[in-house]
Amino acid sequence: MHLSYYGQASLDLLEAQIRNSPFLNSVTAIGDDWPKSVFPLVTAFSLKGKPGNRVEMKLTGVKMDSGDIRKLFDHWKWNGKLNFTLSCWCGIVDPRGLARKGPDNVCCVRA
């Protein structure tokens, strides 16, 4: 599923597909205007992945901070059987400044 952000309707559609489509295994959120409120849906989709059933979420331009990634790793640690890939593409203006501040942008997470 490829989905651009067009307001609350896009979030509602994504949530409905994640909750109700048992065969949904790949989602690409296109564009850099997705709000932070998409991250609970990213987490919900990632939790659907199990051994033998990998799910993949691609985010283009969505900025994630270390807290968002930490939540995913906490779920992975507690569950122990998740099988997901989360990829995001976002520009880093000053990589050295980013290193001094901590990991604010992540390129890929596999669990």
Per-residue pLDDT 10s for the chain (111 aa) are 999 999 999 999 999 999 999 899 999 988 878 888 888 998 888 888 888 888 888 887 777 777 877 887 887 778 777 777 777 666 544 555 545 555 544 444 444
C-alpha span between 47 and 43 (Å, rounded): 6
Q: Which domain holds residue 59?
A: 2-110
Q: Which amino acid is residue 85, in one-letter code?
A: T
For residue 82, the SS3 value is coil
Helix (H) or strand (E) holding 26: strand 26-30
Show the tokens assigned to 111: 């669990």
- Average pLDDT score over the chain: 78
The pLDDT score that the predictor gives to residue 104 is 46
C-alpha span between 21 and 6 (Å, rounded): 21
Q: Which amino acid is residue 100, in one-letter code?
A: R
* Total domains present in the chain: 1
